[in-house]
A and B are shown apart, each in its own frame.
Chain A
């Protein structure tokens, strides 16, 4: 899988200009103060908010594909997942039990529950599984492990490492510098409506 996301002169809401290149297999960490607009940036990249500028995936402009197709390929995981059916499994079209078990959930247990009855940590992992089943090329992750404890954080990080190894690209928003240090190839900070490189501490 090749996944190259390129963002040129993007303006959305109060953000911009934003320039960003995500290479295939790369993970870029994104931090920034609360309210700096990290989620807004992910929303614009997922084509959920209007923007000006140029978005490309593998040199194909976003405007050359349908919005539905773009969102399928550039998968956005919001900080809080939303569920429209009263049974978790209704949100899935194919279920890979092994993949579920790696993240500590099973189709027989959590799959049969009402999403509202799952813990926030379970919902967070189920939302990731739900997103991964549509085989995105790029992942836009907004605090994907915020509700998880240590063991599960490691499981999710491993799963996402495999996604990268297969060629996927990740933009990973986190408040935890140690986590970004672990998972990201390079780190950016969102400040004053723009992205700035964050030099790795020595």
Chain B
């Protein structure tokens, strides 16, 4: 099987669909046309850029370059997690918490997969390392952002309730326990659902891409199963770490609820 090359005209044809949607939105006053077009433009530019970067990287596959791109991807993912919080932590915590959780989960799981599962030579071969890390970052990012947003939002809204629990002799861990569990559930529910319906309702993107590129379906499926497991554990561990650290940060050394460590609102 040979991959059919897409020409710029093919892309322009699909872009027409997006433009049609934007026109309809403008006509019906739905108000999504602006963000839709900006997002479409961002997708085009960002993907072309990463395509160029990957092309260069594949030709010049050194560890420092792969590491540099990985750190850059992590930094951008951390910014994205921060931007998705309505009541994010003030100061460095706002950025550091999600970034640290992604560093712990995505990086260690990518290394685990490269070194122990795939075992390619050299292990940092960008053709494997970068897409793997990218998929892990993208998914753990969503989980961590959702989990942290739920944690800080609930703590903000239910501060009187948490303090009532403290007043009645409960520890900080007990007082935030229900909210913490709920935040972890919210952060992990998407990937659990995705695993549950994979292959039945949806054909996951990675496998679809490999099949389009000519990989035999059973090979592609094996990669997809591995990817699902990596993403699920990365999202789970990452959300757990972020929400646990975040719920500690919500209290001080006298177990007082410190909502003043959160920003009053905003985000996106």
Contacts and interface: CB of A to CB of B under 8 A. Distances in A.
Interface string B148-181: 0000000000101101111111110000001000
B164 A67 contact: no
A181 interface: no
Interface string A61-88: 0000011100110011010111110000
Contact of B170 (A47, A66, A68): A68
Contacts of A130: 168
A99 to B, nearest CB: 17
B161 A50 contact: no
Contact of B160 (A66, A68, A80): A80
Size class of the contact patch on chain A = 20 to 34
Given A82-B161, A84-B161, A84-B178, A76 B256 contact: no
B262 to A, nearest CB: 15
B254 A78 contact: no
Contacts of B171: 68
B25 interface: no
Contacts of B166: 48, 67-68, 71
Contacts of B170: 68
B255 A78 contact: no
Nearest to A43: B163
B165 A68 contact: no
Interface string B224-268: 000000000000000000000000000010111110000000000
A40 to B, nearest CB: 13
Interface string A149-170: 0000000000000000000000
Given A78-B160, A84-B161, A84-B178, A67 B254 contact: yes
B161 A68 contact: no
A76 B169 CA distance: 11
Contact of B169 (A49, A78, A84, A134): A134
A48 B165 CA distance: 11
Contacts of A76: 167
B159 to A, nearest CB: 9
B160 A82 contact: yes
A139 to B, nearest CB: 11
12 contacts: A47-B254, A48-B167, A48-B257, A50-B258, A71-B167, A78-B160, A78-B163, A78-B164, A81-B164, A82-B164, A83-B161, A84-B178
Given A82-B164, A84-B165, A134-B168, 15 more contacts: A47-B254, A47-B256, A49-B256, A50-B256, A50-B258, A68-B169, A68-B255, A71-B166, A71-B168, A78-B163, A78-B167, A80-B160, A82-B158, A131-B167, A134-B169
